[in-house]
Amino acid sequence: MALTYLEAGRRALAEAMAADKRVVALGEDLGRGGVFGQYKGMQEQFGPGRIIDTPISEAAIMGTAVGMALVGRRPVVEMRFSDFALCAVDELINQAAKARYMFGGQGRVPVVVRQPIGMWRSSAAQHSQSLEAWYAHMPGLAVVCPATPADNYGLLKAALATDDPVVYMEHKDLWGLEGELDAAPVPLGKARIARPGRDATIVTWSKTVHVALAAAAELDRNGVSAEVVDLRTLWPWDKETVFASVRRTGRLLVAHEAVQVAGFGAEIAAVVAETLDDALKAPVRRLGAPRIPVAYAPPLEDRARVGAADIAAAVRALVATTRRAAAAE
């Protein structure tokens, strides 16, 4: 069955709520469907006691959800935009992420925090950020970034079944993307090979998966075969799939929409460089956005985008570096 990325997430949540009365969702304007329509019709289906409209206070929403989770509920928190979730960082980072450790496992916080990320229709600097690296840095949190409707269904189901806090980051520019759902479960921490290749590995996640696939298609027309690895989950991340791919190709580019400086791509690049030094045919490269605010004006917004042409050029440079070294020998 073909569904949009948005519809797939809604179906996953509805199925979880139908199966388990402990699952509730809370956030601003959920009764009228949420800001993007992710909850359309759900309050009519499950009632206002489970699809809960809240005041405009992210700290209050998150704090309430953490308390609910500690006493046995399984709340889903809707933050509308990942940027707005910064108002609830204390409740998420200092409370939810640390409760299991600080209470010796006696308190678990099974909360799923939905944070739409990324650039979308000139939304400007306060509504366009990709902040996944912030949460990957925090012990106690899982971080998920689905790229397809099938994964938005499967990964949200997996997140809802997790007994610890999950930061679940859906890309706003993927809401309308259509695709077939897969009944097979999608576990957290397992990457997928989105496109096989032999000359270079591109590791990425979220919307940049589709950008990387477009770049790989362009490269293929010019005789360069790039393998695209969709990481799916940033924490835990699937080192073995990435390592196996890099061992096959000998080259790695990590690409993401988030700012390159201190982005999660640096972690992947460092771990691969430290672990697979003998297998690498060229230095690891990473590609991310410049360290600038995202502008409202489309031409300036485009300056902050990592495009297919950028990824293709970086892969060509990787392959050319190896060829130059071989020619010098």
pLDDT tens-place string over residues 84-142: 999 999 999 999 999 999 999 898 999 999 999 998 888 888 888 999 999 999 999 99
CATH number of the structural domain spanning residue 137: 3.40.50.970
Q: What is the pLDDT of residue 126?
A: 82
Residue labelled with tokens 């397992």: 190
Q: Is residue 186 part of a domain?
A: no
Residues 312, 205 share a domain: yes
Instruction: Count the domains in the chain.
Output: 2
Residue 256 a catalytic site member: no
Q: Is residue 147 part of a domain?
A: yes
Q: Is residue 16 part of a domain?
A: yes
Residues 160, 214 share a domain: no
Q: Looking at the predicted structure, is the pLDDT value of residue 328 above 80?
A: no
Residue 220, C-beta contacts closer than 8 angstroms, at least 6 positions apart: 226
- Of 183, 161, 187, residue with least CA distance to 23: 161
CATH number of the structural domain spanning residue 300: 3.40.50.920
Q: What is the pLDDT of residue 240?
A: 98
CA distance 315 to 200: 7
241-297 pLDDT, tens digit per residue, is: 999 999 999 999 999 999 999 999 999 999 999 999 999 999 999 999 999 999 889
Q: Which of 127, 171, 210, 256 is catalytic?
A: 127
Which domain range does residue 211 map to? Answer: 192-328
Tell me if residue 72 falls in helix, strand or coil.
coil
Are the beta carbons of 233 and 190 closer than 8 angstroms?
yes
CA distance 233 to 168: 9
CA pseudo-torsion sign 112, 207, 315, 302? negative
Last residue of a domain, one of 153, 180, 207: 180
Residues 146, 255 share a domain: no
CA distance 255 to 211: 10
Q: What is the pLDDT of residue 121?
A: 83
Are the beta carbons of 74 and 24 closer than 8 angstroms?
yes
